[in-house]
Chains A and B, each alone.
Chain A
Amino acid sequence: MAPAYDVEFVEREERKARFLVRGVTPAFANGIRRAMVADVPTMAIDEVRFIENSSVMFDEQIALRMGLIPLTTPPEGEFVEGDTVTLAIDVEGPGTAYSGDFVSSDELVKPADLNVPIIDLKDGQRLEAEADAAMDRGKSHARHQGGVAVGYRHLQRVEVVGDRDQFEDEEPHIVRGVIEDDGELVPTSEFDHDLTVRYPGKEVRIEDVPNAFVFHVETDGSFSVEELVTRAIDSLEQRARELEDAVQL
């Protein structure tokens, strides 16, 4: 039987979240992190056809900039790896060509942010191109990374063990992440990451809570955090199954 996991959200937004997972080993926590970074397929531009580019930048440089624009990734099952969607752009100077100027052939795949500048065009300069977006994984190229700034830390338990010596210097005691105080989860940003602010004049002891990890996950806008985490875990599960099938006699 699978061991029981306990998940608790500390912070939850569309593109950013912080959550606590109890009952996982460090290896498994790192497996989830790596899957989020490198193993969740996302859409990104990987081929550009330039019809006109009279801007000051080379086609190749502009193609690279286009590749790094986050695109929304369609729900699971709609696309498979290798499928493509065409996006077109046609901007004439003076002005800046933004990611929002892309017109997509599929409503499900469009720039996640509309304000990513591609190139500044001067009077008479023009950029006209067609781009193919394809689905691939973060391990093939950074442009296909859905999870950015993904990491985890041990949950830290803080215990007051007594009063501080009267003549001891009050030095800041910096802790970052999330602490557990009497079963209550407190992000350290609430007390400026300084334990002497939260426990003035007290002697405290900090210890890592075994097998409890606080994940901090941010997505590039391809999908929500929940989607990223569940897809990462699905990919982990799928690979474990493949291994199981492969070693079966």
Chain B
Amino acid sequence: MSYKCSRCKRDVELDEYGGVRCPYCGHRVLLKERSRDVKEVSVH
């Protein structure tokens, strides 16, 4: 899962052991990045 730290704005990769914490600055608020998948939307 790719996240972005809300304080230092760096990309963060989380694993299941590390907990929710930025490894660079220790900030606990991470923002989820939009997936790179192409999203198909039909117009309604």
Binding site for B on A (CB under 8 A): 44-51, 53-54, 59-60, 63-64, 66-67, 141, 143
Contact indicator per residue, chain B 27-44, by CB within 8 Å of chain A (1) or not (0): 000000010001111111
What is the distance, in angstroms, from B10's C-beta to the closest C-beta of chain A? 16
A-B contacts, CB under 8 A, total: 36
Inside 8 A of A141's CB, which chain B residues have their CB? 43
Q: Is the CB of A63 within 8 A of B38?
A: no
Of the candidates A44, A45, A59, A64, which one forms a contact with B39 in the assembled complex, judged by CB atoms under 8 Å apart? A59
Q: Is the CB of A48 within 8 A of B38?
A: no
Q: Is the CB of B38 within 8 A of A60?
A: no
The 6 lowest CB-CB distance pairs between A and B, nearest first, are A67-B43, A63-B41, A50-B39, A46-B43, A63-B43, A59-B41
Of the candidates A49, A50, A54, A64, which one forms a contact with B44 in the assembled complex, judged by CB atoms under 8 Å apart? A64
What is the distance, in angstroms, from A92's C-beta to the closest C-beta of chain B? 16
Inside 8 A of B41's CB, which chain A residues have their CB? 47-50, 59-60, 63
Q: Is the CB of A45 within 8 A of B43?
A: yes
CB<8 Å pairs between A and B, sample of 5: A46-B43, A47-B42, A51-B38, A59-B41, A60-B44
* 9-32 of chain B: CB within 8 A of chain A: none
Inside 8 A of B44's CB, which chain A residues have their CB? 60, 64
Inside 8 A of A64's CB, which chain B residues have their CB? 43-44
What is the distance, in angstroms, from A52's C-beta to the closest C-beta of chain B? 8
Which of B38, B39, B44 has the most chain A CB within a 10 Å cutoff? B39
